[in-house]
Amino acid sequence: MKRLLPALLLLSGFCVMPAAHAEKADASKPTNVEADQMQYDDVKQINTFIGNVVLTRGSILMKANKMVVTQDPAGYQFVVMYAAPGTLASFRQKRDGGPDQWIDGQAERIEYDDKNEIMKLFSKARMRRLENGKTTDEVNGEYISYDTRAEFFTVHNTASGDSKPGAGRIKAIIQPRATDTKKAP
């Protein structure tokens, strides 16, 4: 049964990984953005950063060719990152639950909804969990939706967020967890 569950999750088009939430301390940190160019529309509350964009906020690191940040009246931000042709936009964030646990992802386009804490990766999407510098789990597909609060992902074989027969396959690599090797006295 232990080996059947991951197979069933993969066949149904989604993957659930054990909980260890994104680092909560990041929410109270300032956001720093570097880019070659910036355009700001104060009326519409839209910031557009172009060229070698690097965003940092606590342990969060986001990189893209272009980043559009929209802010709603309540102050929540919606971020869309676009990769340069032939490259991928990326993010990396430390996770609560251990001294060296991270989550990272790459895609041609990445959207982040600050209010709902949902990350969506479109086209050539890939996410990895890392512990002590080693990949523990990895998922690949054309679309990944990642709820950072619940640590829940869905992976689909089309960039529209639907899974369609014949549209390609998703791939997940789930590493075995370390077990206690000590023998009871």
Per-residue pLDDT of the chain (185 residues; tens, 9 = 90+): 333 223 222 323 333 333 334 555 566 778 899 999 999 999 999 999 999 999 998 888 999 999 999 999 998 999 999 999 999 999 998 887 777 889 999 999 999 998 998 999 999 999 999 988 888 889 999 999 998 888 888 999 898 888 888 888 888 888 887 664 554 45
- pLDDT of 24 reads 57
- pLDDT of 27 reads 64
Q: Does domain 4-18+27-174 have CATH number 2.60.450.10?
A: yes
**How confident is the model over 34-60, as pLDDT tens digits?**
999 999 999 999 999 999 999 998 888
pTM (2 decimals)?
0.78
Parallel, antiparallel or unpaired: strands 46-57 and 60-71: antiparallel
End-to-end CA distance of the chain: 29
- pLDDT of 92 reads 93
Domain edges within the chain:
4-18+27-174
- pLDDT of 142 reads 95
- pLDDT of 179 reads 61
Spatial separation of the C-alpha atoms in residues 141 and 170, rounded to whole Å: 5
The values of phi and psi at residue 51, to 5°, are 90, 110
Using alpha carbons, select from 82, 91, 38, 27 the residue that is nearest to residue 62: 91
